[in-house]
Amino acid sequence: MLDFWTRAPIVFWSVVFFVFGTVVGSFLNVCIHRMPLDLSLAKPGSQCPKCGFAIPWRLNIPIVSWLWLRGRCRQCAVSISPRYLGVELLTGLAFLASWLAFGAQTTPGVLLAVTWGFVLAGLITATFIDFEHFIIPDQITLGGMAFGFIVSAALPALHYNAFALAPIVPLERPADSLMASGLGILVGAGSVFAVLQLGKLLFGKVRVPLEEGESATFTESALHLPGEVAPFEEIFFRNSDTIRLHAKRLELVDRCHMNIDVALSPKRLLIGDESFDPETVPFIKVESDELVIPREAMGFGDVKFMAAIGAFVGWQGALFSLMASAVVGAVVGVGLIAIGRRDWSARLPYGPYISLAAVIWIFFGRRILAVWLPEAP
C-alpha cells in the first residue's frame, strides 16, 4: 500500500485533496441551506433556490460553475449568493491544509488527513448555519460527537499524550485515545454548560421598568416601548425565549384585563390561564411596572457543539477552544460595535468563534501543549 501512495508526488496528492475538498464543500452548501429548514439532504437534487431549476452536473462543478455563470442561475438569472463559492473554496483549502499539516504518503497518514478535513468541514457548516440562523443542528453536534469518539479508536494519532513530564507525541493505543476523546466530550460540554448557567444567572434576563402612566405595545413584529422599538427578531432567538410581565391593565382588540400575568414566546401567548397563537393576536397594549426580557449569550447548541469538538481535540483542546473563543468573540464584538455594525444589545452567534478557536488548536495544539506542559528531559 505504501507503493500506491508514493507512486505520485506529494503535489499530485495536494491537488487531489483540494479538489476533493471542493466537492465536499458543494455538499456543505446543501447542508447549510437545508438543515435549518429540516429538509432532506438527498432529495430533490441541487436546484435554484429561487425558481427550482434542477441543476445538471455540468453546471454544478464546484467553483468553476459559479464563476462560469457569473454567480447567476442559468434558468432565471437570479443572483446566487457568493457564499456558495466561498464555502467550496474554503473547504477545498481546509482539506489541502489538513493534508499538508497531518498527511503522509502512507495509509494511516492519508486517513488522518481526511479525518481532519472532515472535522474542518463540520466546523465550516456549523459556522455558516449559526451565522444565518443562530442554531447548530444536532446532525452536526451529536453526529460529530459520535463520529469523533468512534474514529478515535481507529485513529489514536488524533490525540496527543498530554501529561506533564512526558514527551508530547501522538497516542498509539486505542484505549488511550478513547479515554482522551471521552474526557474531551465531558470537559467540552461541562465547561460550556457551566458558563451558560453562570451567564443565565448574571445576564439571562433584562428588566425594563415602566414609569407610572407609561405603556408597552406588542404588535405582530415588534415590542414598542417608550422611545424605543425592539423587533422580535432581536429578542427571540429560540422558541423557548419568553417575555414575562404582570399587567396592571391589558388591552386586546376586543377585550380588556386587569391585574393579570402575561408570557409571550414566538409560538405561544399566555394571558392568565388562556393560551393563544401569537400570530392570531395582532395587538396588545399593557401597563406594567416592568417587563422581563430574555437575553442569553449562548444556547444549549453551543454545549453540544463544544462536546463534539472535544471528541476530536481532547480536554485540553476543549478548554483552549472555550477560552480562545471568548477572547476572539470579545475582540470581534467590540470591533463591530466600534464601527457601528452592531449595538451593545445585539446578539452575535457564538459558534463561529468556537470554530475558529478549534481550528487554531487543530493546527497548533502540539506547539501550545509544548508551552503549556514541560516535557521530560
pLDDT tens-digit readout, 178-232: 999 999 999 999 999 888 778 777 766 778 888 888 899 998 888 898 888 888 8
Average pLDDT, integer, range 270-279: 90
Q: Does residue 142 carry a pLDDT above 70?
A: yes
Domain boundaries, the chain: 1-101, 134-204+298-377, 206-294
Q: How confident is the model at residue 237 (pLDDT cuts 50, 70, 90)?
A: low
Q: Is the dihedral of CA 187, 192, 193, 195 positive or negative?
A: positive
As a whole-number percent, the residues of the chain with pLDDT over 90 amount to: 45
pLDDT tens track for 81-121 = 899 999 999 999 999 999 999 988 788 889 999 999 999 99
In the block, residue with C-alpha cell 447567476: 72
Q: Which pTM does this prediction carry?
A: 0.78
Q: How many CA atoms lie within 13 A of 281 on its CB side?
A: 23
Average pLDDT, integer, range 58-81: 84
As a whole-number percent, the residues of the chain with pLDDT over 70 amount to: 90
Work out the number of other CB atoms within 10 angstroms of the CB of residue 172.
10
Q: Of 43-52, 56-65, 171-180, which gets the smallest average pLDDT?
A: 43-52
In the block, residue with C-alpha cell 457564499: 83
How confident is the model at residue 164, as a pLDDT?
47
How confident is the model at residue 377, as a pLDDT?
43
Work out the number of other CB atoms within 10 angstroms of the CB of residue 101.
13
How close are the terminal C-alpha atoms of the chain, in Å? 37
Gap between the Cα atoms of 183 and 123, Å rounded: 20
Work out the number of other CB atoms within 10 angstroms of the CB of residue 16.
15
Residue 24 Ramachandran class (φ > 0 left, ψ -120 to 50 alpha, else beta):
alpha
Contacts of 191 (CB under 8 A, 6+ apart): 306, 318, 319, 322
